[in-house]
Amino acid sequence: MAEAQRIGVLTGGGDAPGLNPAIKGLVYRASELGIEVLGLYDGWRSMLDPLTEPLLLDRGKVRRWDRDGGTNLGSSRTNPFRTVSEEGVRVDRSPEVVANIEKLGLDAIVACGGEDTLGVAARLSERGVSVVGIPKTIDKDLAGTDYTLGFDTALRNVTEVIERSRTPAGSHGWVQVIEVMGRHAGHLALWSGVAGQADLILIPEHPFRYEKIYHHLKDRLGDTIGYPRDSERPRYSVIVVAEGAYAEDGELITVDDRHDAFGHARLGGIGEVLARRIMSETPYEARSAMLGHPQRGGTPSPTDRIMGLMFGSFAADAVANGDFGKLVSARGVAPACDLSLVSISSVLGQINTVDVDRYYDTERYHLKGIGM
Ligand code: F6P
């Protein structure tokens, strides 16, 4: 295999803190290995015609990127294998991507993303494109790795909101429902709920029962909230619900009927449904907050910076070694972390969800072993 001299890096799917540190790690290590790195804008979209001029990334350019949240290269949910023309016809534009990779003289692409972005990478790899993947998603639902960039920062962000929600909920005496992202995986909801000490945590991996929630609320709050009150009892409750959670007798709630280029609907709305049900079926007041995209916002946490730098640097080595079609994978999280490469195609088509038997108390709707 010819030694790679020039590579492109792109970030696809939802943005996540940790991507810019990963790019810095890649560029720094690549510069030591004599590899030139071009930044490709807006995920796979930049590789479609008309070709967007890439950004030459050198050490000076990315020196401060470790502190930046989001992605300085921009992102999109473009699927070149499934675009829609102006006439509404589905078109496979992947040949344009392959041609443009050649046109830019790229020996390899480093794709930072989750299941979708890496799925494109794997299919391009089958067409002879040299790719290396870096795992990223606040959902932490990618198989084959213990860590995906963005998770730790999102955990921090959500935990802070849970914490801040206590004062209004306590002052007014209501049940605060907080809806957290994560698609069909409950990692973000579960661990932020534990860190923020929510009373109940509802995750997609275990459909919940409304009656059980009401029962827990009664246990905690008594028959009413407000004055006069029993000073021993809390005046409020916080429930964290994952956007992908659903009731045993209910269904997934989506924002609307639209689907993205990878066939995903936008999940969202279960928090409001739950708050309304609590208000109509119990004596308690309830409010819901859908945290939305700011969960992914802000500067990367120390863990996301470290993991990003390590992932990026490891990807540069993979390129130098001609280890293509592979994803950088972490066993453990820094500082107790080992990196290796796994085949991208081996991690696709399965999602990493919460191990309910190990972590989730299906009676208490909480972390096993931590009674609230
Ligand atoms: O995959 C990351 C994520 O933030 C999910 O948790 C969420 O369901 C989805 O992206 C939101 O999609 P979008 O950023 O396209 O609104």
What are the tokens at 268?
Answer: 């969202």
What are the tokens at 179?
Answer: 């809806």
Q: From the CA of 323, how far away is ligand 1's center (Å)?
A: 30
Whose alpha carbon is nearest atom 15 of ligand 1?
Answer: 14
pLDDT digits (tens, 9 = 90+) for 253-303: 999 989 999 989 999 999 999 999 999 999 999 999 999 999 999 999 999
Residues with CB under 6 A from ligand 1: 14, 77, 137-139, 181-183, 243, 266-267, 296
Q: Residue 153 to residues 158, 237, 274: CA-CA distances in angstroms? A: 9, 25, 26
Q: Minimal CA–CA distance to 313: which of 29, 63, 64, 33?
A: 29
Handedness of CA 187, 188, 190, 191 (dihedral sign): positive
Residue 339: phi and psi, rounded to 5, are -105, 145
Q: Which residues of 311-322 are buried (b: 16+ CB within 10 A; e: fewer)?
A: bbbbbbbbbbee
Q: From the CA of 178, how far away is ligand 1's center (Å)?
A: 16
Q: What is the distance between the alpha carbons of residues 350 and 295, in angstroms, rounded to a whole number?
A: 24
**Three-state SS annotation for 335-356:** CCCEEEEEEHHHHCCCECCCCH
Catalytic residue from among 15, 107, 139, 141: 139
Whose alpha carbon is nearest atom 3 of ligand 1?
Answer: 14
Decide: helix, strand or coil at residue 197. coil
Q: In tens digits, what is the pLDDT along the chain, a chain of 372 residues?
A: 456 699 999 999 999 999 999 999 999 999 999 999 999 999 999 999 999 999 999 999 999 999 999 999 999 999 999 999 989 899 999 999 999 999 999 999 999 999 999 999 999 999 999 999 999 999 999 999 999 999 999 999 999 999 999 999 999 999 999 999 999 999 999 999 999 999 999 999 999 999 999 999 999 999 877 766 677 789 999 999 999 999 999 999 999 989 999 989 999 999 999 999 999 999 999 999 999 999 999 999 999 999 999 999 999 999 999 999 999 999 999 999 999 999 999 999 999 999 999 999 999 999 998 755
Q: What is the distance between the alpha carbons of residues 15 and 160, in angstroms, rounded to a whole number?
A: 20
Active site residue 230: no
Tell me how crowded residue 298 is: count the other CB atoms within 10 A of its CB. 15
Identify which of 138, 141, 180, 203 to mutate to test ligand 1's pocket (most ligand atoms within 8 A of the CB): 138
Quote the pLDDT of residue 372.
59
Quote the pLDDT of residue 42.
98
Dihedral angle, C-alpha 153, 156, 158, 159, nearest 10 ° = 170
Identify which of 180, 266, 267 to mutate to test ligand 1's pocket (most ligand atoms within 8 A of the CB): 266
Return the axis-axis angle of helices 187-195 and 151-172, rounded to nearest 10°: 50
Quote the pLDDT of residue 225.
75
Q: From the CA of 204, how far away is ligand 1's center (Å)?
A: 15
